[in-house]
A and B are shown apart, each in its own frame.
Chain A
Amino acid sequence: MNRLILNKIVLLLSTLSAVIGIGFLFWILITLSYKGISSLSLSTFTNDLVEGGIRNLLVGQFTMALLASFIAIPIGMFAGIWLREYSNNSRLANVIRNLSDIMMSAPSIVIGVFVYALFVAPFGGYNGFAGVIALTIMMIPIIINTTDNMLSLVPKELREAGIALGGSKHKIIVQIVIKAAKVGITTGILLSFARIIGETAPLLFTSANSQFFTMDLTEQFPSLTVSIYNLATYPDEASRNLAWAASFVLTIIVLIINLMGRYMTRNKK
């Protein structure tokens, strides 16, 4: 009899854990929406930070994330291709694979401090390029990981069939293997984009922030996330409301990209 009671208790606690988890999710989303929407107005999107809006911050954050993607995606994919298609799982390949995995969980503030030493201090000040580089360094391991994993799911017969038709290796990889893994890789890319667009720590001492609308990457560059950090600590209510508005917009963006990515793999079995 005791066994059954114990069983019931454990199952109850487990279910409770799930409820708590979901509860926190809703709590956060609801408060975020409430505070965020009430602080939103059209001017939030048409004004720059200097005028109490987030326009330049949105553009700045996206710009840096996009530029980082342009660099990280090809490098990450090619690295994943090497790991899965060319390396034959050599010792070196496994070392690189593991290192990349470890980098995925590495503290982001350390990346910021690293990029500061190389791309800020020698150049005389914060600049957008440094921010882009910091985000790129964070994104590359994620792309490598996703490409590597998705390619491993492609059955080896597909490659053999391509070779058997007289294809050369790189053509087979691009035209058949990558194509077969296309959906998974795209999802991985979307999810990694969602992740870096929400990053703050790597930007703190690289691109810092800017109140103005600018596309000049050689200077301090506007960032949505860094702004939230700054605004939240100002004593005046207007700043705090703007911080909420920015937080809300950021979260919506991140969640939408996330759901888009998951929607893509929804139909795959």
Chain B
Amino acid sequence: MGGRLFKDFSFFSATLSFFILIGIFSILFTYAQEALSEFGVEFLWSETWEADEDDEGGIFGGYIPIIGTLLSTLIAMVIATPLAMGIAIFLSEIAHKTLVKPVSIAIELLAAIPSIIYGMWGLFYFAPIVQATFGGQGVGLLTAGIVLAIMIIPFMAAITRDAMNTVPDVLKESAYAMGATKFEVIKDVIMPYAKGGIIGSIILALGRALGETMAVAFLIGSVMSIPSRVTDPTTSIPVLLANNFAEAMDLEMSSMYYLALILFVVSFAIISIAKFYFLSNKVKA
């Protein structure tokens, strides 16, 4: 019967994403084996990344790309969070009704711009400004962090705003009725009520920022060294993969899969935490 086929195909499609996920874990883990067995857990704090042309081996350590990923994301979060909160507050509490729609659309368009465009613009227009203001060579950790911030602001603002909109009007009205200022209502009523969604949005944005590739590839400098100053160039896991995966062989490639595995597992964990601990109210029944 058509009905049976329909239902079965639906079930099959639903489980497909499950299998794809398992597949990704398996492949990453399998291809990382060589590096895993060669370097073990010390990979995480080893700074060398040198291929040995002769025997197609080498010594590879993930410390620098890992640190680069973490630092660039940290900078992005520090800059993006207050701005995203501000935008969310503006949209849900301050803006006049007629302003809300166009401003929302503008923020959503920011989110729609492909990552590589941020890279182009960042490299040719924004990097020189960072260089002029902070020194350095233009491309480096700071530039990458700032542009990364711009990229995740819309996402964070949207989720935060949704969370803030779940606060019942009566609650806000009671506070206003007691003579509270707008800020106080935000601070004492909205934020605590929407706390879960807000923190969830921050963590979710963090998870996304970790995996951001193209913009960061343009802007972080792609240099295998630890930045001594915030304007120094460095690298991150996605950037290293983007630049060097194509030519890598054997042990180096396996080391890259090792890094990919780390990135995937950490992103997965962070996003899961965001979903389960903070955004669980948002799960639609």
Contact = CB atoms under 8 A, between A and B. Distances in A.
A170 B204 contact: no
Interface in A169-213: 169-171, 173-174, 191, 194-195, 198-201, 204-205, 208
A51 interface: no
A107 B264 contact: yes
A25 B113 CA distance: 9
B120 A105 contact: no
Contact of A86 (B10, B17, B154, B181): B10
A205 B207 contact: no
A75 B20 CA distance: 13
Contact of A22 (B12, B106, B210, B275): B106
Q: Is the interface of B mostly helix, strand, loop or mixed?
A: helix
A251 B218 CA distance: 17
Contact of A169 (B3, B87, B106): B3
Interface in B99-142: 103, 105-110, 112-121, 123-125
A170 B121 contact: no
B90 A105 contact: no
Interface in A134-172: 137, 140-141, 144, 149, 152, 168-171
Contacts of B183: 3, 6-7, 10-11
B176 interface: no
Interface residues of B, number: 92
Given A109-B211, A109-B213, A254-B113, A13 B86 contact: yes
A39 to B, nearest CB: 12
Interface in B18-67: 18, 20-21, 23-24, 27-28, 30-31
Interface in A67-105: 74-79, 81-83, 85-87, 89, 93-103, 105
- Most chain A beta-carbon contacts within 10 A, residue among B6, B95, B217: B6
A28 B113 contact: yes
Contacts of B14: 78-79, 82-83, 87, 93, 96, 144
Contacts of A4: 181
Interface in A2-31: 3-4, 6-7, 10-11, 13-18, 20-22, 24-25, 27-28, 31
B9 A21 contact: no
- Most chain A beta-carbon contacts within 10 A, residue among B10, B118, B123, B268: B10
A184 B186 CA distance: 32
Given A14-B89, A79-B10, A194-B112, A144 B285 contact: no
Contacts of A94: 283
Contact of B106 (A6, A16, A25, A85): A25
A110 B204 contact: no
A100 B275 CA distance: 12
Contacts of A16: 86
A154 B263 CA distance: 38
Given A17-B87, A113-B28, A137-B20, A107 B267 contact: yes
Interface in A202-246: 204-205, 208, 225, 228-229, 232, 243-244
B157 interface: yes
A111 interface: yes
A268 to B, nearest CB: 14
Nearest to B256: A113
A114 B181 contact: no
B114 A250 contact: yes
Contacts of B91: 18
Contacts of B17: 79, 96, 99-100, 103, 140-141, 144
A232 B218 contact: yes
Across the A-B interface, the 9 shortest Cβ-Cβ residue pairs? A107-B211, A17-B86, A198-B114, A82-B10, A7-B181, A78-B13, A170-B6, A79-B13, A79-B14
